[in-house]
Structure 1
Amino acid sequence: MKTRVTEVLGIRYPILQGGMQWVGKAELVSAVSNAGGLGVLTALTQPTPQSLAHEIARTRTLTDQPFGVNLTILPAINPPPYAEYLQAIIDSGVKIVETAGNSPKEFIGRMKDAGITIVHKCTSVRHALSAERNGVDMISIDGFECAGHPGEDDVPGLVLIPLACQALCVPVIASGGIADGRGMAAALALGAEGVNMGTRFLVTQEAPVHHNIKQALVGATERDTKLMFRTMRNTTRAWSNAVSQEVVATENRAGGCSFEDIRHLVAGQRGNQALQSGDVDGGVVAAGQVIGLIDDVPTCADLIERMVADCRQQLQQASRWAQA
């Protein structure tokens, strides 16, 4: 397949593995890149910039194909040393960075000077236009179906993707709600030049996550997610387990809810421990509505080859219908 996304990123197929906290590690990233997509390490999964540099080096021992690093910039009372993480990325010679969260404007100049291609993920056209003006090279547009933070506009991909493609000059990558070749074909038909997947890559053999978690997501339906932090205007979509259900119930109780009331439930390390131990009710597990389309745990190579074949078949079928 050939789009501006494959050409600029140097990959065979326009399929990106998005950044996933606790999951975007060398094993998964290298498997995606070796299969022809773009694997993406998650910078803040690593506890320090030095450990990120080590993980980048470890990834290079597992693949000689392009891969990127996700740097998600979020507001915090005590924010991580983002500039130091970025310096570790630059010093390690990584040439593709996926940014997300707040605007990466203050870091764009440094990345450009280092020859880095910047893929910025956002959830609205207005933010995408701002990022384009600031100099990012591609936009990953994230619909309301997605795992993690879908923003506060609640616009799903079928509307958001063509709006972004219509408004932007840089290549658009469709994110959220995509798990197979049908979704990929739809995204390309809507004008996107690539797709980004998180939840689908979470449920692969190489994902560094306990088998119990993967099997639980295989058995889930499109109705089995919860929107947490709605009352705080920091919406997060997660798999519907005991923890996310308790968070939502606490938010909706009479008298309201502060973050301190739920901090112990949503602590990042608690979620990480659940992913590693296989305790399906042990912590928050980010997952999109696309879990309803996931019914197996393939290797990344099998998944990507299957997606590409199905995508081509769906586009050919649609073309035949149009000719009729």
Structure 2
Amino acid sequence: MKTRITELLGVRYPIIQGGMQWVGRASLASAVSNAGGLGVLTALTQPTPEALAQEIALTRELTDQPFGVNLTILPSIKPPPYAEYVAAIIEGGVKVVETAGNSPKEFIELFKANGVKILHKCTTVRHALSAERNGVDAISIDGFECAGHPGEDDVPGLILIPLAVRALRIPVIASGGIGEGRGLAAALALGAEGVNMGTRFCATHEAPIHDNIKQALVGASERDTRLIFRSLKNTARVLRNSISEEVVSIERRVGGCEFEDLRPLVAGVRGRAALEAGEVDNGVITAGQVVGLIEDIPSCAQLIERMVAEAREHLLRANSYFIGEGK
């Protein structure tokens, strides 16, 4: 395939594995890249910049194809040493970075000076336009269906993707709700030039999470996600389980709640432990509505090749509906 995204990233297919906390490791990122997509490490999954440097080196041993690193910049009383993580990315020779959260403006010039392409993930057109003005190379636009943080505007991809394409000059990557060839075909038809998938790549052989979690994703329907932190204006979409149900219940209490009321349930270390031990009901598990489309656990190569073949088939079929000249 050839789009501005494949040209920008140097990949065979415009399919990107989004950065996912605790999941974006060398085993998964290298498998996606070897299959023709863009694998992505998650910087803050690694406890230190030095550990990220080691994970970059390991990924380079496992693939000779391009891969990227996700750097999510979040407001915090005691923020991670972002500048040191940026240095690890640059010194590791990584040429693609996926940024998310707050604006990466303070690091853009440094990335550009070192030949690093910047994909910025956002949930609104207004933030996408700001990122374009700041100099990022492409926008990954997250619809309301997505896992993780969909923003507070609740605009689904079917509306958000063409709005972003209409407004931006740089390429748009569709994110949220995509897990099969139909989604890839739809994203291309809406004007996107690539897709970003997180939840779907969790249900693959190479994803470094327990098989119980993968099976939970296969068994879930499109109705089996929950929106937590809505009352705190920091909405996150996660898998429906005992923890997310309890969080929602607390948020609905008369008088509301504070984050401290939720902290023991949603702590990151608890979620990580659940992913590793396969304890589906013992931590927050990030997942998008695309779980309703997940029916198996293929390898990354099987998934990507199948998606590309299906997308071609669906686009050709759609084209066949036109008759006469100009078809």
User: For the superposition of Structure 1 and Structure 2, which TM-score range results when normalised by the shorter chain?
Assistant: over 0.9
Provide the rounded CA distance (Å) in 1 between the counterparts of 2:269 and 2:322: 51
Provide the rounded CA distance (Å) in 2 between the counterparts of 1:62 and 1:9: 18
Provide the rounded CA distance (Å) in 2 between the counterparts of 1:78 and 1:310: 46
1:28 aligned partner, one-letter code: L
Matches for 1:79-118 after TM superposition, within 5 Å? 79-118=79-118
1:57 is matched with 57
2:226 is matched with 226
TM-score where L is the length of structure 2: 0.98
Provide the rounded CA distance (Å) in 2 between the counterparts of 1:23 and 1:128: 26
Aligned partner of residue 223 in structure 1, secondary structure: coil
Provide the rounded CA distance (Å) in 1 between the counterparts of 2:220 and 2:166: 34
1:269 is matched with 269
Provide the rounded CA distance (Å) in 2 between the counterparts of 1:322 and 1:296: 34
2:27 is matched with 27
Aligned length: 324
Residue 103 of structure 1 deviates from its aligned partner by 0.6
Aligned partner of residue 295 in structure 1, secondary structure: coil
Provide the rounded CA distance (Å) in 2 between the counterparts of 1:81 and 1:230: 28
- Percent identical among aligned pairs is 73
- Misfit runs of 4+, over 6 Å: none
Provide the rounded CA distance (Å) in 1 between the counterparts of 2:9 and 2:299: 22
Residue 8 of structure 1 deviates from its aligned partner by 1.1
1:184 is matched with 184
Residue 256 of structure 1 deviates from its aligned partner by 1.1
Provide the rounded CA distance (Å) in 1 between the counterparts of 2:35 and 2:322: 32
1:256 is matched with 256
Aligned partner of residue 208 in structure 2, secondary structure: coil
Deviations 1:194-245 (A, max 9, x none): 0000000011010000000100110000000000000000000000000111
Residue 169 of structure 1 deviates from its aligned partner by 0.3
Matches for 1:166-245 after TM superposition, within 5 Å? 166-245=166-245
1:164 aligned partner, one-letter code: A
Deviations 1:237-285 (A, max 9, x none): 0000001111111011112100000001110010000000000111000
Deviations 1:148-179 (A, max 9, x none): 00000000000000000000000000000000
1:72 is matched with 72
2:27 aligned partner, one-letter code: E
1:322 is matched with 322
Q: Can you give the 5+ residue segments of structure 1 that lack an aligned partner in the other structure? A: none
Provide the rounded CA distance (Å) in 1 between the counterparts of 2:245 and 2:323: 49
Provide the rounded CA distance (Å) in 2 between the counterparts of 1:212 and 1:89: 32
Provide the rounded CA distance (Å) in 2 between the counterparts of 1:218 and 1:290: 10
Aligned partner of residue 152 in structure 2, secondary structure: coil
Provide the rounded CA distance (Å) in 1 between the counterparts of 2:77 and 2:248: 23
Provide the rounded CA distance (Å) in 2 between the counterparts of 1:33 and 1:117: 16
Provide the rounded CA distance (Å) in 2 between the counterparts of 1:92 and 1:185: 34
CA RMSD of superposed structures (Å): 0.6
Residue 322 of structure 1 deviates from its aligned partner by 2.3
Provide the rounded CA distance (Å) in 1 between the counterparts of 2:322 and 2:278: 47
